[in-house]
Structure 1
């Protein structure tokens, strides 16, 4: 038995179908525009399928050359024996020292950048900024610091300070300040303003309100951002060594330029293991500290 639908229901169904068709048209139009933009971007960037097809086998060939010729019979022999792990990592003592230097560079740069970012993030937060000019000055300053890539900072600073870790530390710290400052400022803008209003109403200064009303709210976010940035900076410190800014990257650039293929893979594996260990330690520290703060 068929049920007659009221005009209101029929009108609602028609409106729903019309809205659905309009949504599909907008989606298809958006996808067409995206595809067209990708094609134009590929053409401008000279990303041609023929070039990719010709280059990919060479990439595979290079990686194949970095694979060491390990042999089970001699795998655990001394470094003078071909096919052994010790021969593959025959400069392990030097590489571990350079990895430690890289981690120290990243840690010091993260600490410096984190302190500067914390100081600049409060005037860069719209909801608590002293004034509109100070807000824009702090925001634009943070943007300028994170816009310039670390390796560009490193190139300039190596020319100024010479080859070594100092240039790398300053370069990473400058970029870290800009990146962390934005994240912390946005966390401050999302904070509850009632404690701030209470401290200010009780006669507290702007600094006191920031310290006692805002900072406790955003402290877990700051800790999480700092640990994440430290992991990023370890990788960044490995890269800027290519321009003479110290660390394991400088050694990696040397072996790549001299086509020491097996040494390339050994150093890359050490960097991956170091970053993985730092990631695990950072995750454990973040959980413990944030969990302790939440219970408090």
Structure 2
């Protein structure tokens, strides 16, 4: 009993310190939540995000979606293009839309390939653990930041002015933004790569480029491909959006039908774009898993 009594003051002091720490953490959490709430309210006020405006606009959104829904009829669903209520009547321009979708996919593919190649070249000097010099690391990092900060649609407006209306402007705009976005992701993957192979090759006389190619690239290739395939899916949607400013593809057609209020054509094009993205996502997932399985990566 005497030993237990001797330890009671220490136990009480420990409990008191623990409770004091919990109170400090609660106060810090409450202060943080209060600051976050004030910042949220200020942002909502500056951006005019008012509940009243949201409540007034929601019914109009529902009305718009109701208008773009096709008027399909079950008894005429599989009839010809001249029969109202049929799928063929709803998708009466399917052949031209598929060609525009193909053009959009080609724009996204070319932009992804070009942007990925540039990002791969810049990712190695942008990685902190591999950069040959400090100034080159910062220069490359700042360049990647600059290219991905400007929205794709701004690049598209510039390139449309320079090269004219068409897919070339869209490819250049998406490719430039892709290089900046993937360059950052690639460099971060490289920074997390184990350096044992790198050290071994450098010690055996390999130069910087050879060590990047044979020591680092095989380790990070599955992750790089995963990011590139994800970016391809994003670029397909991006190619649709920048078509609004004359950069070609299905986006230009979508802008026209929206401008002229061809409601059912809007829903038809949107459904085709969604199906294309789903298809690309499924194919990308299969390709990514095959590469990971082939390389033995975990």
The TM-score range, normalised by the shorter chain, is over 0.9
In the aligned structure 2, how far is the partner of 1:174 from the partner of 1:184? Answer: 15
2:20 corresponds to: 18
Q: How does 1:121-160 map to 2 (within 5 A)?
A: 121-160=123-162
User: Partner of 2:243 in structure 1?
Assistant: 241
Provide Cα deviations, 1:171-230, integer angstroms capped at 9, x if missing partner. Answer: 000000000000111111111122111111111111011111111111111111111101
Give the Cα separation in 1 of the matches to 2:103 and 2:197.
43
Q: Does 1:103 align with 2:105?
A: yes
TM-score, L = length of structure 1: 0.97
Give the TM-score, by structure 2 length.
Answer: 0.96
Q: What secondary structure is seen at the aligned counterpart in 1 of 2:284? A: helix
Q: How many residues align?
A: 294
Q: Please list the CA deviations of residues 229-284 of structure 1 after superposition, one character each: whole Å capped at 9, or x if unmatched.
A: 01110110111100010111011000000000000001001101110111111011
Q: Choose which of 269, 272, 277 in structure 2 pairs with 1:270.
A: 272
Looking at structure 1, the residues matched to 70 and 225 of structure 2 have their Cα atoms a distance apart, in angstroms, of: 40
Q: In the alignment, which residue of structure 2 is the partner of 1:113?
A: 115
CA-CA distance at 1:25 after TM superposition: 1.1
1:52 Cα shift? 1.3
CA RMSD of aligned residues (A): 1.4
Q: Unpaired runs of 5+ in structure 2?
A: none
1:229 aligns with 2:231: yes
Give the alignment of 1:1-296 within 5 angstroms. Answer: 6-294=8-296
Distance 1:31 1:123 in 2: 40
Q: What are the superposed Cα offsets for residues 82-125 of structure 1, whole Å, 9 maximum, x if unpaired?
A: 11111000000111111111111111110000000000111111
* Conserved? CA contact 2:222–2:297, under 8 Å: no
User: 2:115, 2:179 within 8 Å by CA — same for their partners in 1?
Assistant: yes
**CA distance in 2: counterparts of 1:90 and 1:112, whole angstroms:** 35
Q: How many Å apart are 1:74 and its aligned residue?
A: 1.0
Q: CA deviation at 1:139?
A: 0.6
Q: C-alpha separation between the residues in 2 aligned to 1:206 and 1:73?
A: 69
Q: Which runs of 5+ in 1 are unaligned?
A: none
Q: Distance in 2 between matches of 1:295 and 1:209?
A: 20
Comparing 211-220 with 147-156, which one deviates more in the overlay? 211-220
Determine the C-alpha separation between the residues in 1 that align with 2:211 and 2:77.
63
Per the TM alignment, residue 295 of structure 1 is displaced from its structure 2 partner at its CA by 6.8
The separation in 1 between residues aligned to 2:74 and 2:223, in whole angstroms, is 49
Q: Distance in 2 between matches of 1:33 and 1:203?
A: 55
**How far did 1:67 drift?**
0.8
